[in-house]
Amino acid sequence: MSAFENIGVRQDVADVTRLECGICWTVYDPADGDEVAQIAPGTPFAALPEEWHCPNCDAPKSKFMATET
């Protein structure tokens, strides 16, 4: 797995960090959660279930990377 691909599986990402899909650029914001997958607002990325995928393109968590803002 390349450095690009491993951010979504790291456990040291801050709980409030927004992560962006490297495939379709959909942003997972912990403050919002994921309504489609019934993930409650306030759920950090690291706490998402292993089977969670991008709600837009179905990419795995490993394809997500931290955003600057």
| CATH value of 1-69 in 3.30.1300.10, 2.20.28.10, 2.40.30.30, 1.20.1050.10 | 2.20.28.10
d(CA 27, CA 41): 14
Nearest to 49 by CA among 65, 64, 60, 63: 60
DSSP state of 34: B
pLDDT of 13 reads: 77
Tell me the domain boundaries of the chain. Answer: 1-69
pLDDT of 4 reads: 47
Q: What is the tens place of the pLDDT at every residue in 18-37?
A: 999 999 999 999 999 999 99
pLDDT of 25 reads: 96
Contact call for residues 45 and 60 (beta carbons, < 8 A) = no
Question: CB count, 10 Å around CB of 16?
Answer: 11
Q: Which residues does the chain have with pLDDT short of 70?
A: 1-12, 69
